[in-house]
Every structure is written in C-alpha cells, then in structure tokens.
Amino acid sequence: MTNPEPRGVHGIDIGGSKIELVAFDGAMREVFRERVATPGHDFQRFIDVVAGLVRRGDAALGAALGTAAPVGIGLPGVIDAASGRQLSSNVPALNGRLVVPALEQALGRPVAIGNDCQCFALSEAEGGAADGLPTMFGAILGTGAGGGYCARGRLHRGFNGVAGEWGHWAAPAHLLSHYGLPVIACPCGRAGCMERYVSGPGMSMLHRHFGGEGAEPMVIAARANAGDAVAARTLAAHLDLLAHAFSSLVLALDPHAIVLGGGLSQLPHLYQQLPGAIQRHLFAGAQVPPILPPRFGDAGGARGAALLARQLVLQQSSASAP
C-alpha cells in the first residue's frame, strides 16, 4: 500500500531580517505566501510570529485538509547533535534553544528543520535544475558559502547534520601563498575557511587586497569586463579558489551536477569558466559535472523546507505502517 502524500505543506525560510512562509498544495503548487520581519532577540515572540504565519497559511489551504499541514523550516546554522539545540544561528533569539520541540508544541504538528543551504539543494534536486539526476550538490555563494548533497531526490545530512558545509573547508595553502592572501579568521572559530574568500564578501575582500576600492561582486565583474586589471585579478583569484573547492566536491561526492545558488550565482562567467578551472585541479580521467544555474533562485529555501516536511511525514507514515 502506498503511503498518501500530505495534501498541503508549509515551507518557512528564516533569515536574520525576514521570515517567509509559503503554503503549497499536495502537488507543490504555491497557494499562499507571506513575509514578516524576524524577531531577532525574543524567542517567545519568534514562536508567536511563526505560529501566526502558519495559522494564516492553514486558512489559505482550507479546512478540507482534515489534518494540520506539516511544517518545514530552513534556518541558517546547525543543530547540536547531542543536545538538539540550535547553534551558530544568525537569529540570536534561537541560539542555544530547542527550536523544534518549541515549535511542535506551539503548532501541534510535525516540524522538520534543515539548514537553509540544504533546503536550497533539496529544492533544486526535486523539480529544480537537477531534477531526475541520481545525485547533485547545491552550492550557495552569497553572504556565506554552504550547500547540500542530495541523492535520488533526498537530502543526505550525515552524522552531525552538517554534510555540505564546504565553505568551512580550509583554503589551500598553495593558493593563498600564490595570491599573497592572509589566513583570515572565520566566525565559526577557525581560520582560513574557504567561505572567507569565495563568498560575496570574500570576493570584495580579494578586490581590496589587490588594491581596488570597495565594491560588490557585480560591480567587480563589470569592471573586469571593462578592462580593469585589479578587478580581473580579483575574478581570476576567486575563480581559482572556488574551482579548487569544487574539485574537492567532485573527488569526495562525484555529483552528477552542481547547482549554484546565492547572489554570485547570477555571475555569467562562473558558468562559462568554472568547468575548465575545476578540470585543472582534477587528475586525468576525472570529468567535471555540469555547473547549473538554479531554477527557483531565492524562492528555493521555503520550497526545500516544504519538501523536507513532506518527506518527514512520508517517512513517519512508512514507519508506522503494518
């Protein structure tokens, strides 16, 4: 007997400044969307705001569902595997809190929670740019650098739930030396993390290091296209560092595609030049998988969270079936 899929599901994307809920029907068609400011320093207020969003999402889905629609949440940071407490969140009110139990009690229904980068990957693996592929890696390049690995449309999070945190791999010493780059401290508590160099702020840091004036990545790319030597050197160093990281992804996970997300995913030269740059860091015989733009872009976080909730319900139904 096939377990029925939920007839409605909520996906919630939580960031430091906003919370966005999207309600989907059973076919993952958007029914309702609402965005509100994040209560960053008041945990009970945070719970109340999420509960209000879910109530309004329930109303949009309609009472005909019969049961409360499950909720999936995408949230920056990780959950401590031993205690279940939220760590490294950019929402101070949640740091050190048991977020899932508090929300399940307030909402009276199952809550699935995942890293926001992992939710992006899941969205692109199921119905997104990598739909139908056996495996994929979703790599976020934005304010930070993170990602998620999916196999046959399911997210693989690993023993600690941190699979895909490639942004906290160490930047290679030979490339830091080649470009004369410093070992930069990372908020995670370590130093020299790849994120410090290849994220959006990382590219801006490279530009300043090479003597350029402060600029955002899109401006740097435009200047490079116009012949600015410092901007061109910035893009070359950034591409080399990013290609080294992605070559390690290929060797460790061998995904059938890498889908880019975040603000830097809008830079055309990455799709044109990354494959060749990655190839230079691989040994002979290893091929570079397709580097793809996202299908859902910024909307993927809430959608991926909803898919995570749907998978949780199906898993629980399967486990309880005779």
pLDDT of 130 higher than 50: yes
Residue 312 has pLDDT above 50, yes or no: yes
| Residue 219 to residue 98: CA distance in whole angstroms | 41
Residue 302: is its pLDDT beyond 70? yes
Look at residue 266 and tell me whether its pLDDT is greater than 90.
Answer: yes
Residue from 8, 104, 92, 99 nearest 57 by CA: 8
pLDDT at 78 over 90: no
Q: Beta strands 71-75 and 111-115: pairing type? A: parallel
Question: 87: pLDDT confidence band, cut at 50, 70 and 90?
Answer: confident
Cα 107 from chain centroid?
25
What is the enclosing helix (H) or strand (E) of 12? strand 8-14
Q: What is the pLDDT of residue 243?
A: 98
Using one digit for the tens of pLDDT, what is the confidence trace for 185-206? 998 889 999 999 999 999 999 9
Amino acid 322: pLDDT: 57
Mean pLDDT of the chain: 91
Contact predicate 7/313, CB 8 Å: no
Place of tokens 């830079």: 267
What's residue 219's pLDDT?
A: 97
In angstroms, the Cα distances linking 148 to 153, 189, 249 are: 12, 21, 11
For residue 127, count CB atoms less than 10 angstroms from its CB and return exposed for 0-12, middle for 13-18, buried for 19 or more: middle
Q: What are the CA-CA distances from residue 33 to residues 36, 59, 299 (Å)?
A: 10, 12, 11
pLDDT for residue 2 is more than 50:
no
**pLDDT the model gives residue 300:** 84
Please name the residues in contact with 89: beta carbons below 8 A apart, sequence gap of 6 or more: 75, 76, 77, 95
For residue 245, give both structure tokens.
Answer: 């990281």
71-85, 219-233, 276-290: range with lowest mean pLDDT: 71-85
Q: What is the pLDDT of residue 84?
A: 85
Over 60: is that where the pLDDT of 19 sits?
yes
Query: Taking 80 as the threshold, does the pLDDT of residue 64 lie above it?
Result: no
Whether the predicted pLDDT of 1 surpasses 50: no
Q: How, if at all, do strands 18-25 and 8-14 pair? A: antiparallel
pTM here is 0.90
| Interval 285-298 mean pLDDT | 93
Confidence category of residue 66, pLDDT binned at 50, 70, 90:
low
Q: Are 4 and 316 in contact (CB under 8 A)?
A: no
Say if CB 121 and CB 150 are below 8 A apart: yes
Per-residue confidence (pLDDT) for residue 48, from 0 to 100: 96
Q: Of the ranges 57-66, 125-134, 266-275, which one carries the lowest mean pLDDT score?
A: 57-66
What percent of the chain is predicted at pLDDT more than 90? Answer: 75
User: Does pLDDT of 65 surpass 60?
Assistant: no
Helix (DSSP H) and strand (DSSP E) numbers for the chain: 10, 12
pLDDT given at position 265: 96
pLDDT of residue 318: 57
Mean pLDDT of 208-233: 96
- Number of C-beta neighbours around residue 322 at 10 A: 3
For residues 292 and 82, the model is more confident at 292
C-alpha torsion sign, points 280, 281, 285, 289: negative
- Count CB neighbours of 10 within 10 A: 30
Q: Who wins on pLDDT, 183 or 319? A: 183
- CA angle, corner 198, sides to 149 and 226, nearest 5? 125
Looking at residue 321, its pLDDT comes to 54
Is 135 in contact with 253 (CB distance < 8 Å)?
A: yes
pLDDT at position 320 over 70: no
φ and ψ at 38, to 5 degrees?
A: -80, 125
User: Environment class of residue 114 by beta-carbon count within 10 Å: exposed (0-12), middle (13-18) or buried (19+)?
Assistant: buried
Q: Output 224 or 17, whichever has higher pLDDT.
A: 224
Task: Please give the structure tokens belonging to residue 320.
Answer: 């309880």
Is residue 128 helix, strand or coil?
coil
State the pLDDT confidence band at 4, using cuts at 50, 70 and 90.
Answer: low
How far is the C-alpha of 102 from the C-alpha of 49, rounded, in Å? 13
Structure token pair of residue 133: 């592929």
Answer whether 22's CB lies under 8 Å from 9's CB: no
